[in-house]
Amino acid sequence: MNFSLEGRTYVVMGVANKRSIAWGIAQSLHNAGARLVFTYANERFEKPVRDLAATLDRDDSLFYECDVTSDEAIEQTFENIKNDVGVIHGLAHCIAFAKREELSGEFLNTSREGFALAQDISAFSLAAIARSAKDLMTEGGSILTLTYLGGERVVENYNVMGVAKASLDATMRYLANDLGKYGVRVNAISAGPIRTVSAKGVGDFNAILKEIEERSPLRKPVTKEEVGDTAYFLMSDLSRGVTGEIIHVDSGYNIMG
Ligand code: N5H
């Protein structure tokens, strides 16, 4: 069995900056010997992603713009990746969006448009991406997405994103069933709160982290490196019997009543 990821290629979607969980995942996969392919939403994120990748001690990473709200853009991106690298062995989907104004107050006030937008970018995109990526996973593969406890339970202020994560979790399971016959596994990591660009502007993030310090079994918030190492496990053959699963990397917080 091969624990190293040498000779393998992984697509990482959603690196925004050095704090991104996607970047923690990229680093762990890189440390295990993987070649990386990065996608970013638009030109605003191109330089940050290229600059970060330049800090890795190999220079064969590849970069593509991919607007996940467009089926054509997704198909084109994976067509380009296929032409440039041929086979991929896994993909990390680290993408979500909801309107800032719908991430506080009452879920009751969610707009039809805001609901659809959060579902489209945060949940449907996994299905659209999996459909295109599967054709490049001719040696089997592992797809992973990032979810959050707010999709399983009510978490104050998470609102429309909670409903989108519930949808993402179910999307992950249905895809796991469809893709298993091709040797492609699909799983999710439910990360505890980490101060990323996504958490920016969240009212009292300090209070959220304090609660983790006080109430989680491990008594500390998780790091992107911890999430990255679980991603490495899910991308490697060590997890060959695992699909359709949500692994909580949250210092155990989810078990507490
Ligand atoms: C209970 C909480 C805190 C409240 C909710 C936070 C939800 C965050 C998720 C979404 C994806 C954040 C988001 O879409 C922000 C955008 O409205 C504005 N930001 C942007 O447009 C930036 C520039 C780009 C890069 O961001 C995106 N997403 O494109 C949850 C927290 C305790 C945990 C947490 C922060 C969870 C999570 O899902 O990220």
Residue 2 pLDDT grade (very low, low, confident, very high; cuts 50, 70, 90): low
What is the rounded average pLDDT of the residues 149-164?
A: 97
Give the DSSP H or E segment for 140.
none
The Å distance, Cα 165 to ligand 1 centre, comes to 12
Say if CB 202 and CB 2 are below 8 A apart: no
Query: And the tokens for 93?
Result: 């989907």
% of residues, the chain, pLDDT over 70: 99
- Phi, psi angles (nearest 5°) of residue 65: -80, 140
**Hey, where are the domains in the chain?**
9-250
| Strand order from edge to edge, sheet including 246-249 | 62-65, 35-40, 9-13, 90-93, 141-147, 184-191, 246-249
Strand ranges inside the chain, DSSP E: 9-13, 35-40, 62-65, 90-93, 141-147, 184-191, 246-249
Nearest in space to 239 (alpha carbons), one of 178, 185, 190, 177:
185
Mean pLDDT value across the chain: 97
Token match 């990255």: residue? 228
% of residues, the chain, pLDDT over 90: 96
What is the rounded average pLDDT of the residues 101-124?
A: 97
Tell me the ipTM for this assembly. Answer: 0.98
Is 158 a residue of the active site?
yes
d(CA 13, CA 39): 5
The Å distance, Cα 5 to ligand 1 centre, comes to 31
pLDDT at 202: 80
* Burial class of 95 by CB neighbour count within 10 A (0 to 12, 13 to 18, 19+): buried
Q: Give residue ranges with CB within 6 A of ligand 1.
A: 16, 96-100, 103, 148, 150, 155, 157-158, 161, 193, 197-199, 202, 208
Tell me the per-residue pLDDT of 159-196, one tens digit each, with 9 for 90 and over: 999 999 999 999 999 999 999 999 999 999 999 999 99
Q: Give the pairing of strands 141-147 and 90-93.
A: parallel
d(CA 253, CA 249): 9
Rg (CA), the chain: 17
d(CA 184, CA 46): 29
- Phi, psi angles (nearest 5°) of residue 6: -65, 140
- Choosing from 148, 182, 232, 253, the catalytic residue is 148
pLDDT at 109: 96
- Choosing from 158, 174, 182, 253, the catalytic residue is 158
Query: And the tokens for 188?
Result: 């999710």
d(CA 164, CA 102): 12
Tell me the per-residue pLDDT of 53-99, one tens digit each, with 9 for 90 and over: 999 999 999 999 999 999 999 999 999 999 999 999 999 999 999 99
Q: For a substitution probing ligand 1, which of 17, 106, 153, 161 has the most ligand atoms within 8 Å of its CB?
A: 161
Please tell us whether the domain made up of 9-250 is placed in CATH 3.40.50.300. Answer: no
d(CA 95, CA 93): 6
- CA–CA distance from 108 to each of 89, 115, 120, 163, 216 (Å)? 41, 11, 19, 12, 29
pLDDT at 200: 85
Residue 1 pLDDT grade (very low, low, confident, very high; cuts 50, 70, 90): low
